[in-house]
A and B are shown apart, each in its own frame.
Chain A
Amino acid sequence: MDRHPRTETRGGDAAAGSGIDAPGTASTAEHVVETMTMAAALNRALADALAEDERVLVFGEDVGALGGVFRITDGLTARFGERRCFDTPLAESGIVGTAVGMAMNGLIPVVEMQFDAFALPAFEQVVSHVAKLGNRTRGDVRMPMVIRIPFGGGIGGVEHHCDSSEAYYAHTPGLTVVSPSNPQDAYSLLRAAIASPDPVIFMEPKKLYWSKGVVDTSITADLRRASVVREGSDVTLISYGPSVAVALEAAEALAAEGRSAQVVDVRTLTPFDDETVSNAVRGTGRAVVIAEAPGFASVASEIQARVFEQCFEVLEAPVRRVTGFDTPFASPKFEHWYLPDVDRVLDAVDSLHWEG
């Protein structure tokens, strides 16, 4: 292994040292096993994809010299050059719209939207073209591209910097919508997203960018598979992205109370892995869905409905949801009231008709 291990001294400073190794030190065939942040795992995935496939390119706002506002693209321009990783004019529809043309012409663009709400100018391109071109052309033109969108709260961000916009994308046929919850999945799912022949909306939980975990770059992920991240027999907590951490914490607390909670990380919101989720719930007979986004007409609602439809005969109690409120995302000082937390999950679990 010719890579230097990550230093463990960075704390919460995303700007320091999250970049890739010096030019020339990386071998595309070589796998590493290291503890790193989710930000570093994403950066590694981009670097490895760029190194392995000439067709891959990365662009967006501030992704070049700055390395992205969250430093996810740190060092990529220095290592791969301006042709492979570059800044664009500040126009999100332009970024996604030109990515469509590049994908039509044989490239695999991986573009960055700076923040969830700032991706909205590109919405028409995403819904009307990215999602539909493969279908429109009966498969003659496919759209291998990835749109990375940092999303969700928990970082004390001001208005328009903390939205959970996944439902808009998940509602659109033709899109694959993915959200990782840990550094390993961040690496493996982003690699799988870049390798997919279909367009992927890759939703990165901002508050987990600096969370750490071991990443083995030889591990691949199936883009259409949910993952059981904790085994348990009494109740299934179903979650994705930033809320998986809440679910896991709740499972710990439930264990202390003598209840065994299973945790499912949905990972790919659409196409949805009914099989894994339904099988999990069949094993426990109780389920709670946890997500940050407002609950009305949400991905959490969809999961709840599917579990009801597919597992009704084994359910001991109604499937419950713990979601954000149906309000605009809270300003920083209200955030702790808004975000679904462990207590709210425990209350939901308590309500699952245990007395019978």
Chain B
Amino acid sequence: MSTPDTSLLPRDTPVQLIDEHGTATPDPDYALPSAERLQQAYASLVNGRRINDQCNALVRQGRLAVYPSSNGQEACQVAAALALAEGDWLFPTYRDSVSVIARGVAPEDAMVLLRGDWHSGYNPHAFGVAPQSTPLATQLLHAVGFAHAAMLRGEPTVVLAMCGDGATSEGDFHEAMNFAAVFKLPVVFFVQNNEFAISVPLSRQTAAPSLAHKAIGYGMPGRRVDGNDVAALLAVLQEAVDRGRRGDGPTLVEAHTYRMLAHTNADDDTRYRERDEVQAWVARDPLSRVRTYLRAEELLDDAAEAAMTEEAEGIAAELRAAMNADPELDPQELFAHVFAERPASLEAQWELLHDEIERTEAGA
């Protein structure tokens, strides 16, 4: 047996580069990202927040079936997308729509799943974004296999797989971490620890000192990062992506953040958490701290902010328009993609439905 490499252990406290007051806090291991990168990240944060707010409103208006929002977690969403290069892949969950959009998917295509038009609304290969996974942790294994295939072909692809704190209790989380470490694959496991799995708090998910501590058990580094500090997230995720790209294997990154709203509109979060707790996280808002920093450093002026707001409003307006239109649905599509080539049995079932629709329309 070899001695455990304690450098794999995460720090006692999460990495932070800009504190809650918008002040830069120098770190011995991680440099503050460039001004340009922070400006880009802030613009993306503004869009992300606006998309979250718009989607929450669309649920209330009955235009979306459901929206698991990432309000409060936008820094994680944005950093995950920005850390990846063009040929890389993102494996998101249902809560990661902002990340999916930040990777280039059109907002209305990202909402196809949650609106109920289809189970996924974009071509994964066009964006390097896997379909959003609703079963927990299953997509982590897909990410690992995807990275394995890339490695076998000698391609430089890095895969970033997202999950929440609840998913770290699933068997697939452990199998994915283990496979990735054994085969030394270029995977970044990015856990957004937002303190709750629907209603169940983190204390019921793990007895470990942190989720990042689990990494050493698989022989990979674990990193803890302030999940509301986009600067720290960019630095830590970039390190993990670079490590994967160098061929040094996977990394587990745990971001400490907070889900500001209920799990979805179907959930009442007053039943399981105190308002004071939620209120305490308002002060740690991921947008305001980087904004304060950028303003103080004169890296963001009124004109730039106005332009960002205008862009975000434009995205929201387009999304509203798209969601308020009712696309024509083709019932034949029910049968079209189950197999590459439709079998006789499904052909017969389509005939049955087709006939039923025709009779209904004739009788109407």
Contact = CB atoms under 8 A, between A and B. Distances in A.
A197 interface: yes
Interface stretch (A133-141, A289-297, A314-322): A133-141
A132 interface: yes
B134 to A, nearest CB: 9
Contacts of A99: 145
A141 B175 contact: no
A298 interface: no
B118 interface: yes
Given A140-B124, A141-B124, A198 B179 contact: no
Nearest to B112: A138
B345 A105 contact: no
A137 B131 contact: yes
B344 interface: yes
A231 interface: no
A49 B104 CA distance: 38
Given A134-B338, A139-B337, A198-B339, A271 B344 contact: yes
B26 interface: no
B294 interface: no
Interface string B113-131: 0000011100111000011
Interface stretch (A4-12, A89-97, A201-209): A89-97
A177 to B, nearest CB: 12
A129 B339 contact: no
Contacts, number: 138
A272 interface: yes
A214 B123 CA distance: 45
Given A89-B175, A271-B343, A138 B337 contact: yes
Interface in A92-115: 93-94, 96-107, 109
A63 B143 CA distance: 23
A136 B94 CA distance: 14
B266 interface: no
B142 A100 contact: yes
Contacts of B172: 93-94, 97, 124-125
Contacts of B175: 89, 91, 93-94, 97
A21 interface: no
Interface residues of A, number: 47
B279 to A, nearest CB: 38
A106 to B, nearest CB: 6
Interface in B123-151: 123-125, 130-131, 135, 138, 140-150
Given A101-B146, A274-B345, A91 B178 contact: yes
Contacts of A272: 345
B152 interface: yes
Q: For A101, A102, A128, A132, which residue has the most chain B Cβ atoms within 10 angstroms?
A: A101
Contacts of B143: 101
A136 B119 contact: yes
Contact of B179 (A89, A105, A140, A176): A89
A49 B345 CA distance: 29
A213 interface: no
Q: For B131, B144, B175, B338, which residue has the most chain A Cβ atoms within 10 angstroms?
A: B175
Contacts of A176: 339
A271 B345 contact: yes
A267 interface: no
23 contacts: A88-B179, A88-B182, A94-B141, A97-B175, A97-B176, A98-B179, A99-B145, A100-B142, A105-B149, A129-B138, A132-B119, A135-B337, A136-B131, A137-B120, A137-B123, A138-B120, A139-B340, A140-B125, A141-B131, A174-B339, A176-B339, A274-B345, A275-B344
Interface of A: 57, 83, 88-89, 91, 93-94, 96-107, 109, 121, 124-125, 128-129, 132-142, 173-174, 176, 196-198, 224, 271-272, 274-275
Given A104-B142, A106-B149, 9 more contacts: A89-B178, A104-B145, A104-B149, A105-B150, A134-B340, A137-B124, A137-B131, A138-B333, A274-B345
